[in-house]
């Protein structure tokens, strides 16, 4: 909180920045376009969640990996 009349800091570097993106199965193209526009040194962690039918095999990680210069990790089943 700022009490001396000065402008508050726009960002607190003690806390990491995150971007969370959710989409349905039809959102894969939009995710690819969005992530392709982010620079390799994008400072925030980006979490992507894609809703798929139960039992569906997803190639999303491979598709996004080809479209983006960001490093990646894939989670599944509670990870």
Tens of pLDDT, residues 3-52? 566 655 665 666 778 999 998 878 888 999 999 999 988 989 999 888 87
Type and span of the H or E element at 21 = strand 18-23
pTM summary value: 0.64
d(CA 25, CA 54): 12
Query: What are the domain boundaries of the chain?
Result: 18-67
Higher per-residue confidence, 79 vs 59: 59
Residue 72: per-residue pLDDT: 80
51: left (phi > 0), else alpha (psi -120 to 50), else beta? beta
Residue 13: per-residue pLDDT: 64
The vertex-52 CA angle with 47 and 58, nearest 5°, equals 75
- What does residue 48 show for φ and ψ, rounded to 5 degrees? -120, 130
Mean pLDDT within 72-79: 69
CA-to-CA dists, residue 55 to 31, 51, 52, 58, 77, angstroms: 21, 11, 8, 9, 12
Residue 8: per-residue pLDDT: 58
């Amino acid at each position: 909180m700022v009490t001396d009349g000065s402008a508050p800091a726009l960002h607190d570097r003690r806390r990491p920045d995150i971007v969370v993106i959710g989409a349905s199965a039809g959102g894969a193209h939009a995710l690819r376009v969005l992530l392709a526009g982010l620079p390799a040194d994008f400072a925030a962690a980006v979490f992507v969640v894609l809703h798929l039918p139960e039992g569906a095999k997803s190639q999303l990680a491979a598709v996004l990996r080809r479209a983006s210069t960001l490093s990646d990790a894939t989670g599944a089943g509670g990870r």
